[in-house]
C-alpha cells in the first residue's frame, strides 16, 4: 500500500510568525502521520523578490528550519529539505519554461498584485515572472498528490495543473494532477489589527522572547471607543479579541467578550489572559528551539539527509521527463 504524497514549501523571506504557525505549520505537522510528506525551504523563491539584499537570507533559512522542527516537523517522518540543494527543481523549471506560454504567467493574479504592492524593489524580472512556474516544478518533480496551501496560492496550483497537462499532451503521461489541501485556516491579525504580515511590521514572531511577546500584546490597541476602564467595549472592534478567537478556548473567548461588553474586565485583564494562552502554546516551541539552536551540526545534517532523500525521488521523475522529451545521447 503506498501512501499519498504531500508536498509544501515555505519561503524564507522573513522570520516565521504566529500566523504561519496556525496557518500552515500546525497543519503540516498533522499531515505527517497520514501521508508521505515532503516539506522544504523555498530559498530560490525568496530570491525572486529579494535578490538585491541577501544579507539576512541565511538567518531566515535557519529561523524557518528551526521553528518548523520546534513546532513538530519530524525528520523521522517527513522529508525536510532545502530547495536549492535539489537541483532537479531547476532542471524541471527550465524544461517547463520551454512549453509555458508567456500569457499564462502574466495573467497569474499574484504577479501584477505583488508588483504594484511591493515598493522600492524592482520586480520586473524574469525570475519573478517565473515564480509560479518554479513552484510548479517544485510540485511536479515529486508527483505530489496534495499540496497544503492557503487560498492565496490557488492560482499557482491551477497553473501547475495546466502546465503538467501540457507537458503530458506533448510528451506523454509523466505528471499526475496535484490537488490543493485547503484547510480552514484561522485568519490571524497583527498587533495593529491588519492581517499579520511582515510587510506591515505587525508580527509576533516565533523567535520573539517571552518579554517581547508580552510587550507587543500589552501595547496593542483595543476597541478605540473604550477609553476609560468603566466604558463598555465592543470585542468585535478589538484586535486583541481577534487573537483570542484563535488562541483562547471557546469558553474563555465568551467570558472575555462578555467582560468587555459589560466593563466587568479591563483591557489589561483581557490582554493578560491572551498572553497566558500564547505562552502556553509557545513555551514548548521555545524550549525545543533553544535545544536545536545549540546543535548547528545536527541542523545541517537534517537538511543534508532530507535533501539527499528528496533528490532520489526528484531524479527519478527527471529521468522519466528527459526520456519522454527525447533528451540524451542517441545511443
**Which residues are designated catalytic?**
114, 195, 198
135 contributes a contact to ligand TRP by CB under 6 A: yes
Q: What is the CA 212 to chain-centroid distance, rounded?
A: 23
Q: Which stretch binds ligand TRP (CB under 6 A): 8-16, 120-128, 226-234, 297-305?
A: 8-16
Nearer to ligand TRP among residue 145 and residue 252 (C-beta): 145
Nearer to ligand TRP among residue 147 and residue 196 (C-beta): 147
Q: Which stretch binds ligand TRP (CB under 6 A): 131-139, 211-219, 223-231, 239-247?
A: 131-139
Q: Report the nearest approach of ligand TRP to the CB of residue 40 (Å).
A: 8
Q: Which stretch binds ligand TRP (CB under 6 A): 3-11, 223-231, 272-280, 284-292?
A: 3-11
Q: Report the nearest approach of ligand TRP to the CB of residue 87 (Å).
A: 15
Q: Report the nearest approach of ligand TRP to the CB of residue 147 (Å).
A: 5
- The DSSP secondary-structure symbol of 13 reads S
Q: Report the nearest approach of ligand TRP to the CB of residue 63 (Å).
A: 16
Nearer to ligand TRP among residue 197 and residue 253 (C-beta): 197
CA 91 → CA 27, 60, 146, 321, distances in Å?
30, 25, 22, 10
11 contributes a contact to ligand TRP by CB under 6 A: yes
Q: Report the nearest approach of ligand TRP to the CB of residue 136 (Å).
A: 8
Name the closest residue to ligand TRP (Cβ). 9
| Three-state secondary-structure class, residue 305 | helix
Nearer to ligand TRP among residue 10 and residue 243 (C-beta): 10
Give the span between the Cα atoms of 286 and 293, in whole angstroms. Answer: 10
Residues 15-44 that bind ligand TRP (CB under 6 A): 42
Nearer to ligand TRP among residue 181 and residue 263 (C-beta): 181
Residues 139-178 that bind ligand TRP (CB under 6 A): 139, 147, 149, 153
Residues 42-71 that bind ligand TRP (CB under 6 A): 42, 45
Considering only residues 36, 43, 88, 138, which one is a binding residue for ligand TRP as defined by CB under 6 A? 138
Q: Report the nearest approach of ligand TRP to the CB of residue 232 (Å).
A: 41
Residue 148 in grid coordinates: 497544503
79 contributes a contact to ligand TRP by CB under 6 A: no
80 exposed, middle or buried (CB, 10 Å; 0-12, 13-18, 19+)?
buried
Nearer to ligand TRP among residue 184 and residue 251 (C-beta): 184
Q: What is the CA 322 to chain-centroid distance, rounded?
A: 31
Binding site for ligand TRP (CB under 6 A): 7-11, 42, 45, 135, 138-139, 147, 149, 153
Amino acid at each position: 500500500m503506498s501512501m499519498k504524497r504531500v508536498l509544501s514549501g515555505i519561503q524564507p523571506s522573513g522570520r516565521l510568525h504566529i500566523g504561519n504557525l496556525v496557518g500552515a505549520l500546525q497543519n503540516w505537522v498533522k499531515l505527517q502521520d497520514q501521508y508521505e510528506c515532503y516539506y522544504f525551504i523555498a530559498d530560490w523563491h525568496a530570491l525572486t523578490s529579494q535578490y538585491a539584499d541577501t544579507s539576512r537570507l541565511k538567518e531566515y533559512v535557519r529561523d524557518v528550519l528551526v521553528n518548523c522542527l520546534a513546532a513538530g516537523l519530524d525528520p523521522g517522518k517527513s522529508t525536510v529539505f532545502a530547495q536549492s540543494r535539489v537541483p532537479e527543481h531547476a532542471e524541471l523549471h527550465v524544461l517547463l519554461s520551454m512549453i509555458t506560454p508567456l500569457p499564462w504567467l502574466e495573467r497569474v493574479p499574484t504577479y501584477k498584485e505583488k508588483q504594484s504592492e511591493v515598493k522600492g524593489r524592482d520586480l520586473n524580472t524574469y525570475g519573478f515572472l517565473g515564480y509560479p512556474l518554479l513552484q510548479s516544478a517544485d510540485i511536479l518533480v515529486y508527483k505530489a498528490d496534495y499540496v497544503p496551501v492557503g487560498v492565496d496560492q490557488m492560482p499557482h496550483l491551477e497553473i501547475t495543473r495546466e502546465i503538467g497537462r501540457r507537458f503530458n499532451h506533448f510528451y506523454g503521461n509523466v505528471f499526475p494532477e496535484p490537488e490543493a489541501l485547503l484547510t480552514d485556516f484561522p485568519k490571524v491579525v497583527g498587533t495593529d489589527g491588519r492581517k499579520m504580515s511582515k510587510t506591515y511590521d505587525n508580527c509576533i514572531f516565533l523567535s520573539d522572547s517571552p518579554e517581547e511577546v508580552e510587550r507587543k500584546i500589552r501595547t496593542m490597541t483595543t476597541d478605540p471607543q473604550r477609553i476609560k476602564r468603566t466604558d463598555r467595549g465592543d470585542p468585535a472592534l478589538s484586535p486583541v479579541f481577534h487573537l483570542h478567537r484563535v488562541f483562547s478556548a471557546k469558553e474563555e473567548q465568551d467570558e472575555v467578550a462578555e467582560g468587555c461588553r459589560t466593563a466587568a474586565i479591563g483591557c489589561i485583564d483581557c490582554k493578560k489572559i491572551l498572553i497566558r494562552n500564547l505562552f502556553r502554546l509557545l513555551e514548548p516551541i521555545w524550549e525545543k528551539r533553544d535545544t536545536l539552536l545549540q546543535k548547528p551540526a545536527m541542523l545541517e545534517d537534517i537538511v543534508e539527509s532530507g535533501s539527499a532523500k528528496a533528490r532520489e525521488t526528484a531524479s527519478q521523475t527527471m529521468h522519466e521527463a528527459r526520456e519522454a522529451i527525447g533528451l540524451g545521447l542517441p545511443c
